Chain A
Amino acid sequence: MSRSLEDRNEGEVSTRPWGRVVFWVLLSALGLASPGGAQVLTEPVQPAASRAVSEADVIRFLEQATFGPAASEVSRVKEAGFAAWLDQQFDSRVSSYPVPALFPADQNAGCPSGSDANCLRDHYTMYPLQVAFFLNGLRGEDQLRQRVALALHEIFVVSGVKLRQPAIMAPYQNLLLDQAFGNYRTLLENITLNPSMGAYLDMVNNDAPIPPANVSPNENYAREILQLFSIGVNMLNPDGTVQTDSQGEPVPAYTQDTIKAFAHVFTGFTYATLPGAKARKHNPPNFQQPMALYRDASGRDSNHDKGAKRLLSYPGAVHATLAAHQDGNTDLTQALDNIFHHPNVGPFIGKQLIQHLVTSNPTPAYVARVTKAFENNGSGVRGDLRAVISAILLDSEARGRAKSSPGYGRLREPVLFITNLCRAFNASSDGLLANQAASMGQNIMNSPTVFNYYPHEYEVPDTDLEGPEFGILTSTTAQARINFVNTLAFSKIGAAASDSGTALDLSGLSALAGNPSALVAELDRVLLHGTMPAAMTRSILDAVNAVPATNPLRRAQTALYLVASSPQYQVAR
């Protein structure tokens, strides 16, 4: 009947273990706990691909792995099975972002008076990338890649709020698309040396301290690569739960001194020298190539700190200290290896990928299985993201009966809420959907900070559950989501009279309107994979029957509005 409380207790030791245990005891004492409570509602682990796939599970799978289950994609997965579909997607060609030319930092110089009317929009806002984001999401054949890249975009965050130009943002987003199925170690290095990240978190032109000037190396990238991009602030168990000491306090994964040491590692790098230019300590911007270690005329990396550095310490640590006088590139390689081999990386990154793709509150056992895939892809390779993604999507907790547990699922984030509805009803679209997402609290490409559009550890009030996307569900955005459905169902996004905009194809639903039960059943099948409660069906039928049968489109719109605006749909499970 329900996922066990005991199970939940383990699942969230990472945040508040004791109250919950106490509570379980209390409930048991009151006789309120389910006798079957200790039973975990997942099926025995078996290769999902070997089982016959139900349409309902195919639709669920595509909600997790794509920008929304389109009918054509549902057929493909039914035919191929999950694992073979994943293999096809791993080899898919990338639908990438356009990379416009770099404009001057001063927009008055880049778009002087008399410029094209769209000059500012196209060169100093994220507009071109926002359009490409939605078009790739709606139509790209590389659906899994786009979806995983979105998750990476929300873990390894850079933002147009600071970078401002699409010319600066686009190469970084293309990097995430290109490496979505690569190795985490490669991804970490490429992100570190990417000039967009360099500009966003200030690693570019970070100087070694040169006495007597009293300045310290910039700590910004050093802190966030550890806190957000790799291991997090506390030591984790392989199942993602926080390690505690004898006092019950979390064990910190590093100290301020560790941050300082990494800040010293990340000194001496600047933009790649432009063709024909002379290398300088602080080169002019170049967002096309990775940052590089500055070398003076004699070949010395004279802006890199040469002291010894004490990095992360953990059992079996790789390069826990860096020797003095090493070359800057050696320091960087060894420092990234030091991070990469930290035992936190698997559970820290793995759990977040599960939360982005499948469910906000995975059981510790699920996280542990994904950690295992991170640590070894089956061929002895650590950090293989293909293996991690397969492990996440084919896990018994993603595919099995766990979906019925009371804490299962995730609130659809605004951009996916939009694209899922569009793809379900074969929408025509010009990709101008960013304002809709922004009104729901997600201004895509413009994350307010490096902590993403919403905090990854947000706890849903009045529950003991994490629900990251609830961090942007306010009284305003909750209604904006319903208003979006209203516009999409009854009209279209964009000017009603023009050919552009985004409009659903409701012909299939309208054809069913003569039989309201069939109409609602179809919506249940397509949007809720058959989970609509009877009371909800009755309410929708009441509303549909209040529309004259002579107006089949209005009936279809009414039914769609009520299903798509319902929390039963907005929380995907």
Chain B
Amino acid sequence: MRVALALSILLFGSGCAQLEFVDRGRVNHPAMDFNGALVPETNNYLTGMDVGKKGSSSEACSVCAH
């Protein structure tokens, strides 16, 4: 019983709550994601060729996949 309790606390404390597999190998690292940059997108100041709501560059959502 004590062993089970210790084991469960150990598992919980060491990441059992995050069972997602995150591959942080070099090419798979989040910093190498072409669509997930940590810096703002660039804007246009003369031409308006973009289609859609990109114009205000403010609708960025941190968790949405778009």
Answer whether A and B are interacting partners: no
B interface with A by C-beta (< 8 Å): none
A interface with B by C-beta (< 8 Å): none
